[in-house]
Amino acid sequence: MNPAPRRLLLAASAFALTHVSASAQTPVAPPPAGPLSSVSVYGLVDVAAYDKQLAGERKLKALQSGGLTTSRFGIGGGEDLGGGLRALFDLSGFIRLDTGDAGRNGTDPFWSRYAFVGLASTDLGTIRLGRISTATFLSELAFGAFLDSTNLGPYLLHTFQPSGGQPMITANGFLDSAWNNSISYTLPTTISGLPGLIASLQVAAGEGTLGRRVGGGVNYRSDRFGLSFTFDDVSQDNLSVGAPTAALATAARPQYTANKIKTYQGGAYYDFNVVRLWAQMNQTTFSNATPAEIKLTTSALSATVPLGLGSVIAEWAHTNQQRTAVARLERDTYGLGYDYFLSKRTDLYGVVLHDKVTNLSTGTGWALGVRHRF
């Protein structure tokens, strides 16, 4: 054979062997995910210098994580399964910026905000399973000028803070904003034909609760007008509410063990362009095997007024506590602040808070903070 063709054949054979060997060692990459599947990372960080004083308590200077919004992070996404059906999931937790710790406190699970997986159908609705926020809590966030501020918002201070940490027993804080071991169903908007209308029902299994929890509600929200009604019905043994020990118990913070709790929550708003007005009401009844019961009725009025590159926010919340054979107690909290936006994601805020409770000294505090969304 001519030397030139021979050399060409040998070179081609070597190239083929090298190429096959390299292909065998390198796995074939799957096709990139298309627009039908998505995963996103999101969150919000908020911290404030807080000169805090609630009624009957001493003044405390603190760096408060989550002044206007509890700092959080999450991973969420879904997949389009075709035919109007979509798989979805969301894992979200809280973070304390002042210490870098996870959770709102030392007992929070890592994914304490919520953790669920589910299916959503345009015709049949959405079902989610896991740790899921209650309709009552979501209603309280959406129908007040301070929105989801559990530290500076008067209405949420009265209803969703742990009761042992407040000058008066609170309505729902010890039940938390989300329920473990729960299933939630939301009706599709195609049934009502009204965009912005959400109706849901949630039940929590006895696992880990030793009782029954049922909640749900209906709310409608548009740019101009909103209306909401929700409920929680909890039957569970040995729910310790109020003061953590007998030594710390007072008339305003009694030590009480409940086995039944019923809550009804309503809210509304209307936007007049120059001002948005909000109204809320919550009634919670604690009961046990004895005739004694505690009933809390909380109402709130608030306003949001656009001003410059931000908004003035103002809110008043009032709670009366009725307890068998005990004199009626009242709590009033006033909040006034200004939220200034540096951009769509970043804002600065300042808030003054005044708190008073029957037979306790009044308290006044203020906070200056910064918040960023990502």
Non-local (6+) Cβ contacts of 215 within 8 A are 134, 135, 136, 179, 201, 202, 203, 230, 231, 232, 233
CB atoms within 10 A of CB 32: 5
Residue 267, Cβ density class (10 Å: 0-12 exposed, 13-18 middle, ≥19 buried): buried
pLDDT greater at residue 64 or residue 7: 64
pLDDT band at 174 (very low <50, low <70, confident <90, very high): low
Q: What mean pLDDT do residues 107-128 have?
A: 94
Q: Identify the CA nearest to 304 among candidates 342, 282, 271, 334.
A: 271
Provide the 3-class DSSP secondary structure of residue 192: helix
Q: What mean pLDDT do residues 347-367 have?
A: 95
Give the domain extent around 123: 46-373
| pLDDT score, position 26 | 34
| pLDDT score, position 23 | 33
pLDDT band at 164 (very low <50, low <70, confident <90, very high): low
| Lowest-confidence segment of 112-121, 151-160, 247-256, 277-286 by average pLDDT | 247-256
| pLDDT score, position 167 | 73
Residue 193 lies inside a defined structural domain of this protein: yes
Cα–Cα–Cα angle for 89, 263, 226, rounded to 5 degrees: 65
pLDDT band at 57 (very low <50, low <70, confident <90, very high): confident
pLDDT band at 101 (very low <50, low <70, confident <90, very high): very high
Burial 14-30 (b: 16+ CB within 10 A, else e): eeeeeeeeeeeeeeeee
pLDDT greater at residue 245 or residue 116: 116
| pLDDT score, position 170 | 73
Residues 114, 131 contacting (CB under 8 angstroms): yes
pLDDT band at 162 (very low <50, low <70, confident <90, very high): low
Distances 189 to 126, 134, 226 between C-alpha atoms, Å: 10, 19, 16
Q: Which alpha helices (DSSP H) does the chain contain, by range?
A: 3-25, 135-142, 154-159, 189-192
Residue 249 lies inside a defined structural domain of this protein: yes
pLDDT band at 208 (very low <50, low <70, confident <90, very high): low
Residues 177, 70 contacting (CB under 8 angstroms): no
pLDDT greater at residue 107 or residue 338: 338
Residue 244 lies inside a defined structural domain of this protein: yes
Residue 17 lies inside a defined structural domain of this protein: no
Confidence check: pLDDT of 11 > 50:
no
| pLDDT score, position 163 | 60
pLDDT greater at residue 11 or residue 351: 351
Confidence check: pLDDT of 29 > 80:
no
Alpha-carbon span 359 to 344, nearest angstrom: 44
Alpha-carbon span 190 to 88, nearest angstrom: 19
| Lowest-confidence segment of 81-90, 165-174, 182-191, 307-316 by average pLDDT | 165-174
- Phi, psi (rounded to 5 degrees) for 222: -135, 180
Alpha-carbon span 94 to 115, nearest angstrom: 12
Confidence check: pLDDT of 322 > 90:
no
The enclosing domain of 289 has a CATH number of 2.40.160.10
Residue 18 lies inside a defined structural domain of this protein: no
Please state, for a pLDDT cut of 90, what percent of the chain lies above it. Answer: 64
Alpha-carbon span 33 to 187, nearest angstrom: 30
Domain count, the chain: 1
Residue 154 lies inside a defined structural domain of this protein: yes
CB atoms within 10 A of CB 38: 12
Alpha-carbon span 357 to 291, nearest angstrom: 26
DSSP string, 95-160: EETTTTEESSSTT--TT-SEEEEEEEETTTEEEEEEEEE-HHHHHHHHSSTTTT-TTT-HHHHHHS
Q: What mean pLDDT do residues 64-68 have?
A: 94
Residue 3 lies inside a defined structural domain of this protein: no
pLDDT band at 165 (very low <50, low <70, confident <90, very high): low
Residue 357, Cβ density class (10 Å: 0-12 exposed, 13-18 middle, ≥19 buried): buried
